[in-house]
């Protein structure tokens, strides 16, 4: 598939089901109650979570309790006490519980259709590749890995095994995000002119893996900056041409001895669109602001669990608040059950593109040079 075809496919698939009208611009009044969905009677996909950290526990497992077409079928953990806790809480049979040494036996488990890797970044390649060799379809958290080469290896392993590889781009399924994509595609306010995209927070525990480069691949850019890179890409529907970047000052040397504390970057996109990005582990900030020829759109919060809030130059956005992970997993399972494919806009190839841009941002910051991307 050519780059243009791939881009069109991304936009078409991402825009499916937007279904919003001018009502999205109304000032919020009473919260609308969605009509109940018909009871789902079809096949349910079994999902096994690999790694039972906070994201798996507080987001994915909770989301899976709300999905009609997929469920938590198994777990993989190196902590026996967690295994016991999860087995009891989610009624998971002992045969569907693995540790990191016995993981490959998952190949023989017909209850599990999809393995979802929710480990530190450095561990993604090993377990995605092992899952593929076990014949299981794979979802992986973002960023896919710590290097472009690792992403390429993961994609190849899944292709060789004939299994699907997806990346956990939950914002692609979130109503406010889908609405700003629609408005950009349909040029509701004219052409996109400028994007400001920021995501940072004050990080806690100084011993956590996110502050260790070997495990995380970097600091806030790898953790939450990837959302800002994604935001620029899905708003414009295009790929950046060049990037410049700058590391921020280190104000806490003991905490940030291995990874950056903050980082700013500037993308040049086609059609003279400029994107300013910023990410930090010492600044609480989160917004996606888009300037068009004839107006603006702002999401703030824009990327976290929210609830997402939005406004435009015509007024506030009044859209459904959803559980991000439940929404994402239900949509992925629905498409897979219908087509045997994951949505193309969450593919491993999309994750690889992001990894190339993250790598280029680091190179630009380290060298002080403008890095050509296309």
* Set 98, 116, 227, 281: catalytic member: 227
What contacts 24+ positions apart, CB below 8 Å, involve 31-39? 32/320, 34/320, 37/68, 39/68
Q: How far apart are CA 250 and CA 88, in angstroms?
A: 45
Catalytic position from the list 116, 136, 142, 357:
142
- Indicate if 142 belongs to the active site: yes
Specify burial of residue 162 (Cβ count, 10 A radius: 0-12, 13-18, 19+): exposed
First to last CA, the chain: 18
Instruction: Tell me, yes or no, if 227 is annotated catalytic.
Output: yes
Q: Are strands 165-167 and 137-140 parallel, antiparallel or unpaired?
A: parallel
CA angle 92, 325, 46 (to 5 degrees): 35
| Residues 319, 322, 325, 326, CA torsion sign | negative
My answer on whether omega of the bond before 301 falls inside 30° of 0, hence cis, is yes
Catalytic residue positions, numbered:
142, 227
């Amino acid at each position: 598939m050519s780059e243009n075809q791939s881009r069109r496919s991304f936009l078409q698939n991402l825009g499916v089901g937007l279904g919003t009208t001018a009502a999205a611009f109304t000032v919020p009044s009473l919260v609308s109650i969605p009509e109940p969905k018909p009871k789902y009677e079809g096949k349910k996909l079994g999902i096994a979570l690999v790694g039972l950290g906070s994201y798996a526990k507080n987001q994915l497992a909770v989301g899976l309790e709300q999905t009609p077409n997929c469920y938590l079928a198994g777990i993989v953990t190196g902590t026996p006490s967690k295994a016991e806790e999860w087995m009891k809480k989610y009624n998971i049979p002992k045969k569907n519980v693995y540790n990191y040494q016995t993981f490959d036996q998952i190949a023989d488990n017909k209850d599990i259709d999809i393995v979802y890797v929710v480990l530190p970044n450095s561990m993604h390649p090993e377990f995605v590749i092992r899952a593929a060799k076990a014949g299981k379809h794979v979802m992986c958290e973002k960023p896919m890995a710590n290097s472009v080469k690792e992403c390429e290896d993961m994609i190849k392993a899944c292709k060789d095994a004939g299994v699907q590889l997806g990346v956990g781009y939950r914002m692609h399924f979130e109503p406010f995000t889908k609405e700003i994509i629609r408005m950009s595609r349909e040029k509701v306010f004219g052409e996109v002119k400028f994007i400001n995209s920021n995501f940072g927070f004050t990080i806690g525990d100084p011993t956590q893996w996110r502050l260790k480069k070997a495990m995380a691949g970097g600091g806030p850019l790898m953790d939450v900056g990837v959302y800002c890179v994604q935001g620029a890409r899905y708003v414009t529907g295009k790929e950046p041409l060049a990037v410049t970047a700058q590391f921020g000052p280190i104000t806490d040397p003991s905490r940030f001895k291995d990874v950056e504390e903050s980082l700013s970057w500037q993308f040049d996109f086609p059609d003279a669109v400029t994107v300013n990005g910023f990410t930090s582990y010492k600044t609480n900030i989160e917004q996606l602001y888009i300037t068009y020829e004839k107006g603006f759109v702002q999401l703030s919060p824009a990327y976290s669990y929210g609830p997402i809030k939005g406004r435009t130059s015509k007024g506030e956005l009044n859209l459904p608040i959803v559980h991000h992970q439940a929404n994402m997993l239900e949509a992925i399972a629905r498409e897979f059950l219908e087509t045997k494919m994951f949505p193309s806009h969450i593919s491993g190839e999309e994750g690889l593109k992001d990894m190339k841009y993250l790598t280029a941002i680091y190179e630009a910051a380290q060298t002080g040079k403008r890095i050509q991307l296309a």
